[in-house]
Chains A and B, each alone.
Chain A
Amino acid sequence: MHLVSVIQRGVWAVLLWPNLLASSVPLDCREEQGILSRCPSISQEKLLDRVIEHAELIYRVSEESCSLYEDMFIPLQFQRNQVGYACITKTLPVPSSKNEIQQISDKWLLHSVLMLVQSWIEPLVYLQTSLDRYNAAPEMLLNKTKWVSEKLISLEQGVVVLIKKMLDEGMLTINHSEQGLLQNGVQPQMLESVMRDYTLLSCFKKDAHKMEAFLKLLKCRQTDRYNCS
């Protein structure tokens, strides 16, 4: 029986070795050290496509989570309109109009995306913890927010590699500095907790849309620079 199980595992390994190669290799391959890198080579276009797909999915899921949360915890419209002002990332120097976006360079676009992504990794973890404390939070909401925080990390990796490939820059140090997330510092009140979570969700939804738009414009520029409006 032991031999049989060993053989089974061997067969599985043989069948799945390409997947193992693809999934386990980190995107940040270090080539400068002269080590024979085992990174799967992927073209820049394909990588950009994949990053865009990630961003689209992240936005869609975040929008669904926000709707779910609104339906459950924020029934009144006026509340929903109040959230635009307290987004944590509003201090980031990212373009906010189409004109600006059209005028900035590829490099700045990519860096903007990266900044956005990096600034949301920690808050999403916080959001997850906060939602877990709810008594009536639906399972789907929790799953979605968890999924989003995971995918955001992959998105960050992809954008880093993209920057490296497209801009030929070195590896950026990834520092997740707190950006004034918990301004109160003390135990938040219930109402504030709900509003704060909702604020987080809707702000993240907005920023996810931003990332998606930036990346798409970037792609348009890659394929056909002169026709992109």
Chain B
Amino acid sequence: MTVLSSSSNLLLLLLMSSLDWLSTPGSAFFMGRHRVMSPAPLEPHITDCISRDQATFQCWWSPGNFHNLSSPGALRLFYIKKDSPASEWKECPEYVHSNQECFFDNAHTSIWIPYCMQLRSQNNITYYNEEDCFTVENIVRPDPPVSLNWTLLNISPSGLNYDVMVNWEAPPSADVGAGWMRIEYEIQYKAINTTKWEALEMQPQTQQTIFGLHIGKEYEVHIRCRMQAFTKFGEFSDSIFIQVTEVPINEYTFPLTLVLVFGIVGILLLGMLIVISQQHRLMMILLPPVPAPKIKGIDPELLKKGKLDELNLILSGGGMGGLPTYATNFYQDEPCVEFIEVAVEDADTGEKEDNQGSDTQKLLDLSQPVSQHMNIGFSNVVSFPDDDSGRASCYDPDLPDQDTLLLMATLLPGQPEVGKRAMAAERGARPLVHTQTEGPQTWVNTDFYAQVSNVMPTGGVVLSPGQQLRIQESTSGAEEETQKKEKEHTGGEDSEEDKEKELQFQLLVVDCEGGRYAAEGNAWQIGGPHSAPMPGEGYQTIFPQPAETTPAATAEGSQSPYILPDSPQSQFFARVADYTVVQEVDSQHSLLLNPPPRQSPPPCLPQHPLKALPAMPVGYITPDLLGNLSP
């Protein structure tokens, strides 16, 4: 409702103003210059009033069409300051007739107070327009800024554009320093041959940057200002001209860049060529080939995943021959590895105690590589008292056929004299050496005998650990012996023994006779005359002359495949044996098992604490024998 009424009122006002406008065609001062002047005769009117510094102002008038009033003094200007209800019209304080201007100085200028102007002629005709009223702050148009100049800020990398900083000073008439007037500035610029001015944003600082001018073009720049939060601008300043010509440096930098780029590309290409041509060499250097797994004598195919069983088979000697060749090779590489000397616990040699069990284990440990079994060698006489069991010692280069001497015999370190004797006796012949002397108590702990569980086609013997306190005899043992004798060495080959028992091997080679086991072709016959009666034993014994059997050989159950005790005593042999040994061969070439025991102490019983071994055959000594042997 209010809007409707206000709009109706506005319409009414519009009508009135139009009428008013018709009545006073001359006054165009505050109506805005857009209004078209009517063709009616103009009466004298105030053309404009301007203040430049908000402290003074001027007003100009025009006589209009009344040319007779154009002479100076014909028209007089009167003003009224409406600061009180009792104010009066006053005449212009200062005329400038040449300009038809009235100047109001500081004393006559009041800010924030409405002024109204009127013109009076000599005839007291008053030409007054209500619209010629104003307050001074609303007519302020500041002077244009002064000292406009510019500086080049930078040129774009492309060399086509540049930025310029324009700076100026405030108009001196405007008292900006005292804060009397707050002024803001507007810069406008355009290219010379264009007509549209570009205006930058108004701001109160006395400098501004113009961005994005083009190289080579000439620009015209001018500036104007106004009071902040007011509407009337001052005049434009004089224009300045900005132009930046081409920079010649571009000509030099561009080719340089090209050269750089091409150079880098060329280097890259060269590097690539080198890499490609030397590819293989580089690959060798950077990624050296990794050797594949390989074991001599074994097909690499088997080493691949999933073929473990076959590998085990080969390693265990069941292969067609891969392993033995390997064994052979091994032996050839290390000819001196033949024996393992195992120290049996002895009162005299207390320090060897700790070696005892370990040595046996070493000997009998199947998990250990085959090579260990091959670490059996001769123990030299000289080095007999060598406490280090397992160490290969090879001082007898004459020993033949070392490869067949896989011996699991243990040497009980004993009295060196015995050993020496034994060695001396056997020198040159026996691959196996012996000696041993041991206290009887040692026998208890040692597994002396080993049961032969299998015989290798090459002559090796597969041993299985015997049991303690039992003399194990078996036909296999006899077979072993025979075979050995045939081979003239009783060297056993490898032993594959059960891991369960710890066996110590003793070498019971007794060769008192200095001969051999007389295996050469006389195996059986040797067995004949020499066969010591081994009651219940069934061992085939060979009598060494000076022998002493190394009954020390063991305790029980250990194997001494090479030495057959010469039926030491009957009670020993009375024990149950796991295998039956052929004792005798008849004239009819029949085997006699368990020949009647005989006691015939071997003449070559060594002087060792062992009890006298009645017969010291070269052959087995059972644990019982050993017990007898101990002194």
Residues on A facing B (Cβ under 8 Å):
52, 56, 59-60, 63-64, 73, 75-79, 81-82, 84-85, 90, 96-100, 133-136, 190-191, 193-194, 206-207, 209-210, 212-213, 216-217, 219-220, 227-229
Contacts and interface: CB of A to CB of B under 8 A. Distances in A.
Given A81-B134, A98-B180, A191 B229 contact: no
B112 A96 contact: yes
B158 interface: no
Interface string B450-479: 000000000000000000000000000000
Contacts of A135: 1-3
Given A56-B182, A191-B6, 13 more contacts: A60-B228, A78-B31, A81-B130, A84-B133, A84-B135, A96-B110, A97-B106, A97-B107, A98-B54, A98-B55, A133-B2, A213-B179, A229-B175
Contacts of A220: 177-179
A85 B55 contact: no
B3 A97 contact: no
6 contacts: A60-B228, A60-B229, A64-B229, A78-B17, A90-B113, A216-B182
B112 A207 contact: yes
A78 B130 contact: yes
Interface string B24-43: 00000011100000000000
Contacts of B10: 75-76
Interface residues of B, number: 42
B200 interface: no
Contacts of B130: 78, 81-82
Interface string B99-120: 0000000110111111000000
Among B82, B84, B111, B177, chain A packs the most CB atoms within 10 A around the CB of: B111
B3 A59 contact: no
B83 interface: yes
A173 B485 CA distance: 141
A99 B135 contact: no
Contacts of B110: 96-97, 100
Interface string B71-101: 0000000000011100000000000000000
B20 interface: yes
Contacts of A100: 110
Interface class of chain A by DSSP: helix
B137 interface: yes
Contacts of B55: 97-99
Contacts of A82: 130
Contacts, number: 111
B245 interface: no
A194 B14 contact: no
B178 A96 contact: no
Nearest to B21: A78
B443 to A, nearest CB: 84
Given A60-B228, A81-B30, A209 B180 contact: no
Give 7 closest A-B pairs by Cβ, nearest first.
A216-B179, A84-B114, A96-B110, A220-B178, A98-B55, A97-B110, A190-B5
Contacts of B175: 229
B143 to A, nearest CB: 15
B131 interface: yes
Contact of B112 (A77, A85, A194, A210): A210
Contact of A96 (B9, B32, B111): B111
A190 B106 contact: no
A227 B32 CA distance: 38
A216 B178 CA distance: 7
Contacts of A85: 82, 114
A27 B55 CA distance: 35
